[in-house]
């Protein structure tokens, strides 16, 4: 399953999440410049468990050289699809966690989840000589946090079925729960001290995210984070909005809400609304005229329920201003 987008749009611009993605991309370009020395970089900056379990090897490294890989390894990747998959998941889930925690707390949370994932991998592969790299552990922590904070958010998911491609709206707790079970199942079948995907790092990061988000969500926002938030607040509502219209038991009409800012109301705007229809959604463009007032009801003819005779009601959208 490949996530395409989630239904929750962050209220602030995810500047830290974007900077993490950019930094990973820059480090990936740096890896290309190393040529034949790339393996040496992986051994030096990746987490190589035997460097910690073998006293004869560990004494050859300084304390900084032993600690630094737990951070540096998060920004190294083994190939194009490795970094592409990681950054896509971070893009989908990271912005909402940053919006909830604030920019500075989010950065600390991300790094701690990655470090925790590295420690779990070290413990479960104590004698391995293979370097572990990638942002997967930290991103798993982001996904664990998302499960706690937004379990009922809808994830638009691409599901390939043989030669057919289906786009399905899946609740976040089902998508993330299924992903976690796959990691557990794969970890139980993968022998220790072999190369490949570090499933235990994924599991460790995910569990760390479940625990840390409860702690971080209670901590007060830092002064610098508050000042950054002032500059990153979004000035407009999302172009795509999911509407969950409520039917009236006695009529065919449906009723819902559409959210805009006072500035959008003054100037007029267009929004793409997604109306759930079973597991799929119907997308419709809605034009909101300039000068519309809060509480105004927009009528979309023929988008209500249909009766047995084929008569169809209308969809009424009440305009609400973003507070």
Instruction: Indicate if the pLDDT at residue 194 is higher than 70.
Output: no
Angle at 22 between CA 19 and CA 23, to 5 degrees: 85
Regarding whether 282 and 175 lie in a shared domain, the answer is: no
**Span 244-262, average pLDDT:** 81
Q: What is the mean pLDDT of residues 294-304?
A: 88
- Whether 250 and 133 map to the same domain: the answer is no
Q: Do residues 102 and 251 both lie within one domain? A: no
Token pair, residue 135, equals 């942002």
Q: Which of these ranges, 48-57, 161-170, 203-212, 251-260, has the smallest mean pLDDT?
A: 161-170
- pLDDT, tens only, 116-168: 999 999 998 888 888 999 999 999 999 999 999 999 998 888 888 777 787 88
Domain count, the chain: 2
pLDDT in tens, 3-13: 888 888 787 88
Residues 193 and 308 in one domain: no
As a whole number of angstroms, the distance between CA 243 and CA 246 comes to 9
Q: Which of 211, 232, 253 is the last residue of a domain?
A: 232
Q: Quick one: pLDDT at residue 58? A: 87
pLDDT per residue as tens digits for the range 173-190: 999 999 999 998 888 777
Residues 220 and 247 in one domain: no
Q: How confident is the model at residue 76 (pLDDT cuts 50, 70, 90)?
A: very high
DSSP-H helix ranges across 8-128: 15-34, 38-45, 50-53, 55-58, 63-67, 69-72, 80-101, 103-124
User: The pTM is what?
Assistant: 0.75
CATH number at residue 294: 2.60.260.20
Q: Which of 232, 250, 266 is the last residue of a domain?
A: 232
Q: Looking at residue 63, which CATH number applies to its domain?
A: 1.20.1540.10
Instruction: Lowest mean pLDDT of 100-109, 159-168, 277-286, name the range.
Output: 277-286
268 and 127, same structural domain?
Answer: no
| Cα dihedral across residues 186, 189, 191, 192: positive or negative | positive
Mean pLDDT score of the chain: 86
Last residue of a domain, one of 186, 211, 232: 232
Local confidence band at 229 (pLDDT 50, 70, 90 cut-offs)? low
Which parts of 154-249 are beta strand (E)?
A: 154-161, 164-171, 240-242, 246-247
Query: What pLDDT sits at residue 227?
Result: 65
Residues 182 and 261 in one domain: no
Same domain, 256 and 216: no
pLDDT band at 230 (very low <50, low <70, confident <90, very high): low
Verify that 88 and 215 share a domain, yes or no. yes
The whole-number pLDDT of residue 228 equals 67
Residue 239 has pLDDT above 80, yes or no: no
Q: Which helix (H) or strand (E) holds 3?
A: strand 2-6
Return the pLDDT at 237. Answer: 73
Q: Which domain holds residue 144?
A: 2-232
Considering the domain architecture, whether residues 285 and 172 belong to the same structural domain is answered as no
Is 66 found in the same domain as 26?
A: yes
């Amino acid at each position: 399953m490949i996530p395409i987008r989630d239904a929750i749009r962050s209220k602030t611009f995810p500047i830290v999440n974007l900077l993490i993605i950019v930094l990973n991309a820059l480090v990936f370009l740096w890896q290309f410049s190393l040529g034949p020395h790339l393996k040496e970089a992986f051994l030096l900056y990746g987490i190589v468990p035997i460097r910690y379990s073998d006293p004869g090897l560990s004494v050859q490294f300084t304390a900084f050289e032993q600690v630094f890989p737990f951070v540096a390894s998060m920004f190294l990747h083994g190939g194009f699809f490795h970094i592409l998959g990681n950054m896509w998941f971070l893009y989908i889930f990271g912005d909402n966690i940053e919006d909830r925690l604030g920019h500075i707390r989010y950065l600390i949370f991300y790094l701690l989840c990655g470090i925790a994932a590295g420690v779990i991998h070290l413990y479960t592969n104590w004698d391995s000589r293979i370097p572990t790299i990638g942002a997967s552990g930290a991103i798993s922590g982001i996904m664990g946090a998302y499960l706690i904070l937004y379990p009922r958010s809808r994830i638009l998911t691409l599901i390939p079925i043989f030669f057919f491609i289906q786009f399905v709206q899946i609740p976040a707790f089902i998508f993330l729960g299924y992903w976690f079970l796959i990691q557990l199942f794969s970890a139980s079948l993968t022998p220790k001290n072999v190369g490949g995907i570090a499933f235990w790092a994924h599991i460790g990061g995910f569990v760390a995210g479940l625990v840390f988000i409860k702690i971080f969500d209670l901590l007060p926002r830092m002064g610098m984070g508050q000042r950054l938030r002032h500059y990153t607040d979004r000035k407009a509502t999302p172009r795509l909005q999911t509407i969950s219209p409520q039917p009236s038991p006695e009529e065919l009409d449906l009723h819902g809400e559409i959210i805009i800012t006072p500035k959008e109301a003054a100037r007029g705007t267009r929004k793409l609304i997604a109306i759930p229809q079973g597991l799929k959604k119907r997308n419709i463009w809605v034009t909101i005229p300039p000068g519309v007032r809060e509480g105004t009801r927009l009528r979309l003819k023929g988008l209500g329920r249909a009766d047995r005779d084929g008569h169809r009601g209308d969809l009424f959208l009440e305009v609400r201003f973003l507070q």
